[in-house]
């Protein structure tokens, strides 16, 4: 089991060394054999979180804009 953790740590360090972000290494093991491995660039994680946050902010802005337009229409109708 330790050899798999060591491999994940190695991948994480490699990601940092190669300026890919990190330090996040991953190893997929099945039947005591590594069947997949890699490192996860931090840039992708940050970009994903940023996109989700931007989407929520944009949604809220649009909802507020619609609400103001509806309030304006109601006011003009009176």
- Report d(CA 71, CA 75) in Å as an integer: 6
Task: Tell which wins on pLDDT, 4 or 67.
Answer: 4
Q: What is the pLDDT of residue 49?
A: 66
Which neighbouring-strand residues pair with 38? 26
Whether residue 75 has pLDDT greater than 60 = no
Predicted confidence (pLDDT) per residue in 10-61, tens digit: 888 888 888 776 677 888 888 898 888 887 666 555 566 667 777 787 888 7
Among the listed residues 69, 62, 4, the one whose alpha carbon sits nearest the alpha carbon of residue 32: 4
Give the start-to-end residue ranges of the domains of the chain: 1-40, 43-78
Which of the four pLDDT bands, split at 50, 70 and 90, describes residue 3? very high
């Amino acid at each position: 089991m330790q050899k798999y953790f060591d491999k994940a740590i190695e991948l994480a360090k490699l990601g940092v060394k190669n300026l890919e972000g990190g330090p996040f290494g991953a190893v997929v093991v099945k039947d005591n054999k590594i069947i997949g491995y890699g490192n996860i660039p931090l840039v992708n994680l940050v970009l994903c979180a940023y996109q989700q946050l931007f989407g929520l902010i944009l949604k809220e802005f649009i909802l507020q804009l619609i609400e103001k337009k509806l309030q304006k229409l109601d006011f003009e109708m009176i």
